[in-house]
Amino acid sequence: MIRLPPWTRALAPTWLNPAPASPHALQDLEREVGPLPSSYLECLRRGNGGEVGLRVSPLVLCLDSAESALNYWRSGTYTKQGVFVFGGSGGGDLLAFDLRVPGVWPVICFDPIDPDGSTELVAESFEVLLTHCEEE
């Protein structure tokens, strides 16, 4: 019997968009941003964005599509350096990977108006974040 990691339970099609990210969009993400968590890329392969409640602050994960996340990256309008924004809270806060910790990619949340004064650790990794998704 194959045992799947616990975070894969959160990749239910009920909260992910029904259409997956295109292979081209995923390749562009990795080429332009650099290595990203395999669980994040797998999430986008199953559904290109979506929204789900979280049992931890910020209480909602609005996952951007691969194209939206890449467009934001390309825009250069980040107010916090060393992060990759992959979504938001639905209330103005941004969710991002802290790229300053290579290979680990902690998930942080921050207000783009006061990024240094508002940054909070949400989860040690994207996998851990997915374990906090509410059951449908």
Domains in the chain: boundaries: 6-131
15-73 per-position pLDDT tens digit:
888 899 999 999 999 999 999 999 999 999 999 999 999 999 999 999 999 999 999 99
Q: What confidence tier does 12 reach under pLDDT thresholds 50, 70, 90?
A: low
CATH of 6-131, one of 3.40.50.1000, 3.30.70.20, 3.40.1580.10, 3.30.530.20: 3.40.1580.10
pTM: 0.88
H helices of the chain, in order, are: 23-33, 38-46, 66-75, 115-118, 126-131
Listed residue (116, 133, 106) closest to 12, CA to CA: 133
90-126 per-position pLDDT tens digit:
999 999 999 988 788 999 999 999 998 999 999 999 9
Beta-sheet strands, E only, within 14-81: 50-53, 60-63
Amino acid at 51: E
Q: What is the mean pLDDT of residues 128-136?
A: 86
pLDDT at position 104? 86
Residue 65 half-sphere exposure toward CB, CA atoms < 13 A: 13
